[in-house]
Amino acid sequence: MVYKSQRIANWYFTIALLLFVLQVIMGLWLISNYVFTIPQSIVDVFPFATARAMHTNLLVLWMLLGFMGGTYYIVPEETGSEIWSPGLAWFQLVALVATGVVALVGFAFGWIQGRPLLEIPRPLDIVVVIGALVFLFNVGMTMFLARRWTAIQGTLLGGLVFLALLYLFGIPFYSNEVIDWYYWWWVIHLWVEGAWELVTGAIMAFVLMRLTGVDRQVVEKWLYIEVGLFLFTGIAGTGHHYYWIGAPTYWLWVGGIFSALEPLPILLMVIDTMNHVRHRKTQIVNPHTWTIAVGCAVLHLIGAGIWGFAHTLPQINYYTHGSQVTVSHGHLAFFGAYALLNLMVFYYAMPRLKGIEIYKPTRAKLGFWTMCSAMMLMGLTFGIAGVLQSYLERVLGMGYMTAQSYMWLWMAVTLVLGVFFLAGVVITVFDLLFPKAAEL
């Protein structure tokens, strides 16, 4: 670590990790609701929808804190300067975490807006917007004053500005449900298949360059191609959410064709990740961080690319829409693309921020492989439940609850796998919070 202000990143990472554990505990509660009959007295005070809102909002919050911390770690090294205002970085962290705590407590008491993943009520939205503006201003000023522009910085800032702008479309409420969902997808889809992909591209490029010593020009050339393709396919690909909400029928074509192309940039990311290691110039000092990078590229391709492609054509989505097939894809994609991206950055930065250049990878490996295997299997079990559900409900016309009884076994297996997943997460989080130096 060269820059003092990078230290703030450690706080972002630490809080993100604790929220990750909490998110997964909520996931276990959710799956228990599918497996056991929860007494009505509990359901009355803590309904499934409340727990689900906590699970998904915690997910968004920890990942955004991870991206912000990652940015505060990377920007000083890219610009060759300290962060413009560490004070603002602190202010923003406290504001966002306070919003998160108020939101979670508020959800428990029914203070909720109701649109999935963006459930936090309007007044809290305003705090989030202020936090985001402070963040962008701080990062922008650091880059502007340093005047050492790189493609990585540009893409990172571009992705973060795009991310913040999109959030604004989720704030107004339209009494016409079609229009309301239309803009809701601008946030959800254009985040994960647009803005977040740009942030991912930039962060991946930075870490790959640092790990392998491959020339900046090579890494940045790939970055340009990927970013261009992500935007080209991802923006029109939004149409894969407009098939059945009452939008014009041309979306069946636009959404189908463009979203079917979305796996391309993700595939490129896997190829260039592998290419970099083949042409590496230095020995990789922490090979486990490299393993996470490869794991991220591959699971990103499986979860988002392949699992996304599987139900993106309207002919298939007609049957699978909103079933456990969607849940299977949601888990594999978020975990593969964004949980592992964050964990890669944490493993790159956190030991170093604690003065450890080479960390002992034993616990890290155990945590990583447990999480990845459990999540891959959960993707399969959710997927099997989803295919059953699509067939029973949409082909045979069975009622929702009757179909559930046939899916029970697969939800029960998911619960068992979820316990293993939690174990992997706890090992990983513990290792990151208390890393050990390698014995040389």
Chain contacts with Fe ion (rule: CB under 5 A): 189
CB of 311 to ligand HEM, least distance (A): 5
Task: For residue 79, give the amino acid letter.
Answer: T
Please identify, using beta-carbon distances, which residue of 276 and 331 lies nearer to ligand HEM.
331
Please identify, using beta-carbon distances, which residue of 7 and 321 lies nearer to ligand HEM.
321
Q: Name the maximum alpha-carbon separation found in the chain.
A: 64
Asked whether position 259 contacts ligand HEM by CB under 6 A, the answer is yes
Token pair for residue 412? 């029960």
- The residue from 309, 318, 391, 406 that contacts ligand HEM (CB under 6 A) is 309
- The residue from 173, 322, 362, 405 that contacts ligand HEM (CB under 6 A) is 322
The contact pattern for ligand HEM, residues 184-223, with x = CB under 6 A and - = no contact, is: --------xx------------------------------
CB of 30 to ligand HEM, least distance (A): 4
Residue 226, φ and ψ in degrees, nearest 5:
-65, -45
Positions in 345-404 near ligand HEM (CB under 6 A):
none
Answer with the entry of Fe ion, ligand HEM, none that 308 interacts with (C-beta below 5 to 8 A by kind): ligand HEM
Task: Quote the CA–CA distance of 143 and 137 in Å, as a whole number.
Answer: 10
Region of 106-114, 325-333, 356-364, 396-404 interacting with ligand HEM (CB under 6 A): 325-333
Asked whether position 252 contacts ligand HEM by CB under 6 A, the answer is no
Asked whether position 312 contacts ligand HEM by CB under 6 A, the answer is yes
Binding site for ligand HEM (CB under 6 A): 24, 27-28, 30-31, 52, 55-56, 59, 116, 192-193, 240-241, 259, 262-263, 304-305, 308-309, 311-312, 317, 321-322, 326-327, 329-331, 333-335, 337, 339, 414, 418, 421-422
